[in-house]
Amino acid sequence: MAAAEKRHGALALLEFDTIAAGVLASDLMVKRSPIALLRCGTIHPGRFLILVGGSVASTEEAYAMGVQLGQTERALTGSIFLGDVHPMLHDAVLGKRRGLVGDALAVFETRSSPALLAAVDAAVKSTPVILCEVRLGDDLGGHAVALMGGDLTDAETALGICTERAGDQLLAQSLLPRLDSDLRSLFNEGTHFGTCAAFEPADAEYPEEVACSWDA
């Protein structure tokens, strides 16, 4: 399913701890109202995420249906409805990256994806930080993480807002007051280990070459 190009007025994200319940909820939600099913599928560890978007009314109606099913099945582990989603968060959730700006980098990590969206949406609406990256569930053991750049005061404020909003879903956070320029270049391309480009500065130290038996 291709990612939507246009922005939606509202987004909703639901997380289930059984795949069966998540699949059923997906079906009921798209039948309930005219929404865009932006993402749905399995994440670690055996959970199911559903991301939908559309008008405020249609998204809220579908969201209510998904929550009702999740509560009935006792399978809903988290959910968030964003009726006025910030444009940066909307785009980041759908995979758009922005370059890090400012001296400071704020990294925020939660135990669940809905908790991250709720926290970051509040932060970017209240501070001028730039949201560089959002990752939900995949390759993170079910966790979620966001990278935000800006000046030190704004980045620190954003982390404070995220922490308060996330509550017990907060897993970890870090604040880098003066991000290394080389790390900035790497993180601008993403935080996946497998796709990270090697960086070897000109002044990197290497051991002196020695003869080894397997070189003979």
Q: How far is CA 173 from CA 32, 50, 84, 85, 193, in A?
A: 38, 25, 25, 23, 19
Q: Which residue has the tokens 């758009």?
A: 96
Q: Give pTM, 2 decimals.
A: 0.86
CATH number, domain of 30, equals 3.30.70.1710
Q: How far apart are CA 53 and CA 36, in angstroms?
A: 5
* Structural domain boundaries enclosing 176: 87-187
Tell me phi and psi for residue 139, to 5 degrees: 60, 20
Asked whether residue 59 is assigned to any structural domain, the reply reads: yes
The whole-number pLDDT of residue 147 equals 97
Show the low-confidence residues of the chain (pLDDT under 50). 1-4
Q: pLDDT tens across 56-73, in order?
A: 999 999 999 999 999 999
92 lies in the same domain as 164: yes
Q: What sign does the CA torsion over 69, 4, 189, 132 have?
A: negative
- Name the domain boundary from 26, 50, 82: 82
Asked whether residue 45 is assigned to any structural domain, the reply reads: yes
Q: How far apart are CA 30 and CA 14, in angstroms?
A: 13
Number of domains in the chain: 2
The whole-number pLDDT of residue 212 equals 54
25 lies in the same domain as 64: yes
- Name the domain boundary from 33, 55, 82: 82
Task: Please name every residue paired with 105 in a beta bridge, in sequence order, or none if there are none.
Answer: 149, 176
Of 172, 141, 173, the C-alpha closest to 157 is: 173
